[in-house]
Amino acid sequence: MRVVIAGGHGKIAKLLERDLAGRGDSAVGLIRNPDHAAVLRAAGAEPVVCDLEHSDVDTVAGHLTGADAVVFAAGAGPGSGAARKDTVDRAAAVLLADAAARAGVRRYLLVSSMGVEQPPAPGTDEVWAAYLRAKKAAEAEVTGRDLDVTVLRPGRLTDDGPAGRIRLDRHVEPGAVSRADVAHVLLALLDDPATTGLTLELVGGDTPIGEAVRAVTAR
């Protein structure tokens, strides 16, 4: 399997790249900063310099040629303002979807966030509110494309090691989950086309990852 990951230098992306490479798949990471290329190579991934904020659909589609799936794991990150929440967390996700459609890559995994289902509460920090709105808009626009999309909404992210046990469903109670477990879940979702069309929330829990994924597709 050849998987192209937007936000290839992010923490979740690097973990997913290692997981893919470790089992003999091909991981390609899209990065803005060429200085990050060596880190991706060390993770077993092929780095491709492509700034999704300043690229066009044909350029991005060219980087997706031959891919079996794409994963949007990019984000404007801490310290960015409200404007970049829209240009990265929403617009870049949509650009990747349009490029995937043009390149003939149907499978698309979108890393979103818990908390997007309801509008931000009054008094919410402006940047955080912009982030939640951008993620929700990205979900709406990407799932509206003619692609095989799965949306994953992790809870509060931690850098703990992988527990291998989770709660995964259309709705779960808020909680935390390690980035390592998010990467493992993304890998399991890539392997299961029956998750196409699902929007799933994810936190740490008691169910092994494979069993949790099978359970949500059996309903």
Greater confidence, 123 or 72?
72
What's the pLDDT score for residue 49? 98
- pLDDT tens for 31-41 read 999 999 999 99
Cβ neighbours, 10 Å, residue 19: 21
Average pLDDT over residues 186-192: 97
pLDDT surpasses 90 at 91:
yes
What's the pLDDT score for residue 187? 98
Cβ neighbours, 10 Å, residue 1: 15
pLDDT surpasses 80 at 77:
no
The residue behind tokens 């044909």 is 58
Residue 155 · residue 132 · CB < 8 Å: no
- pLDDT tens for 148-182 read 999 999 999 999 999 999 999 999 999 999 999 99
pLDDT surpasses 90 at 104:
yes
Cα torsion through 86, 6, 198, 186, rounded to 10: -140
- pLDDT tens for 48-72 read 999 999 999 999 999 999 999 999 9
